Amino acid sequence: MRGVLFDGRTVEVVDGLEVRDPGPGEVRVAVAAAGVCHSDLSVVDGTIPFPVPVVLGHEGAGVVEAVGEGVGHVAPGDHVALSTLANCGMCADCGRGRPTMCRRAIGRPGRPFGHRGAPVHQFAATSAFAERTVVKAVQAVRVPDDVPLTSAALIGCAVVTGVGAVLNRARVERGDSVVVIGAGGVGLNVLQGARLAGALRIVAVDAEPAKEETARRFGATHFLTSTEGVRDVLPTGADHAFECVGRVELIRQAVGLLDRGGQAVLLGVPPAGAEASFVAGSMYLDKSVLGCRYGSSRPQRDIPLYTELYRQGLLLLDELVTRTYPVEDFDKARADAEAGRVARAVLTF
């Protein structure tokens, strides 16, 4: 089968990739579509260290092909969105409803793939840039057949991360003010999460002016090309500032934009070991800086919720898919994503 393989030096679409059968508590999925997220590209450029060789991709959807022993919530033929959260369901954090904090789901990459006789790692417990993948049963979330798989693919990362950061982590309330730095795939979902939460003023900040129309469609009430004009819109500062780019200078700016009692939520991924700074004295008016992993989500609850909001016309998914590419055109999709020409590039199989 075909897949996108990174060997530590080059990334290319290869043939002859193999994946094992599902074991107990696992599901094999025939991937139909997969979004090209900057986290995948960050593995290639070294921002996210990861063992190689590895099949990339972590934002996907497809059709269940086979299930292992003990799997009952999905069956062959079901449409599923894939979650990257391979949580155990049994530890204290899972029991507290915090599966994103499951220690068994962090930093333990498996190797269910093979290529030319050598084992290959799985990225983010998913590896959606392959015609087939094997995931834990908890990662396969059933979606209605009337949801296009090209759109459903984006729920498992961009939507869960962005909308979840607003609803689950920041807990934005009706009437709040929100600043979103970065109007890419995650930033757009923060914007629509703020809209769903009832935020009154939603300021999108992105250096690319061409993103204004899309940002406003997703929920922005104002659009700026730098943070310098935010105080003109929000003179006392923002209740919530989301940094969705992963640059330490923007983290500092996000903290500086906060009103009293405001909170900055960090979603972008800076290089490993990067340090951010801010004026400590600015925090004493009940301000806070919040990390956020995967939208603080509970995927088996959140993905069906977001799917239903989409079906009711309240959550935008189709509009995220700027362009689809056959997997053979991965290089073109990668270039468009890196250049910011797409909200989401989606590979199809």
Looking only at the bridges linking them, the beta strands covering 79-82 and 60-67 are: antiparallel
Distance CA 34, CA 133 (A): 12
Q: What is the pLDDT of residue 271?
A: 84
Q: What is the pLDDT of residue 109?
A: 80
The answer, yes or no, to whether residue 265 has pLDDT greater than 80, is yes
Distance CA 209, CA 51 (A): 37
Phi/psi for 143 (5° steps) reads -125, 150
pTM over 0.85: yes
Q: What is the mean pLDDT of the chain?
A: 95
270 near 246, Cβ under 8 Å?
yes
Looking only at the bridges linking them, the beta strands covering 344-348 and 321-326 are: parallel
Q: How far is CA 118 from the centre of its chain?
A: 29
Percent above pLDDT 90 for the chain? 91
Q: Sheet of 11-14: strands edge to edge? A: 11-14, 3-6, 54-55, 118-122, 113-115, 17-19
DSSP structural state of residue 331: H
More confident call, 49 vs 233? 233
More confident call, 280 vs 128? 128
Distance CA 185, CA 2 (A): 26
Q: How far is CA 192 from the centre of its chain?
A: 14
Q: What is the pLDDT of residue 105?
A: 79
DSSP of 218-240: HT-SEEESSGGGHHHHSTT-EEE
Distance CA 264, CA 215 (A): 20
* Cβ atoms within 10 Å, residue 97: 10
Distance CA 51, CA 326 (A): 26
Distance CA 245, CA 206 (A): 10
**Which residues does 195 contact at the CB level (< 8 Å), separation at least 6?**
202, 218, 219
Q: How many helices (H) and strands (E) does the chain have?
A: 10, 19
Which of the listed ranges 35-44, 214-223, 278-287 does the model predict with the highest average pLDDT?
214-223
Looking only at the bridges linking them, the beta strands covering 238-243 and 258-266 are: parallel
169 near 265, Cβ under 8 Å?
yes
Stretch 253-263: mean pLDDT? 97
Kindly report, residue by residue over 211-225, the tens digit of the pLDDT.
999 999 999 999 999
Residues forming beta bridges with residue 177, ordered by sequence position: 201
Kindly report, residue by residue over 72-118, the tens digit of the pLDDT.
999 999 999 999 999 999 999 999 999 999 988 766 689 999 999 99
Q: Which two tokens stand for residue 225?
A: 């090309």
Q: What is the pLDDT of residue 107?
A: 63
The answer, yes or no, to whether residue 318 has pLDDT greater than 80, is yes
DSSP structural state of residue 95: H
153 near 61, Cβ under 8 Å?
yes
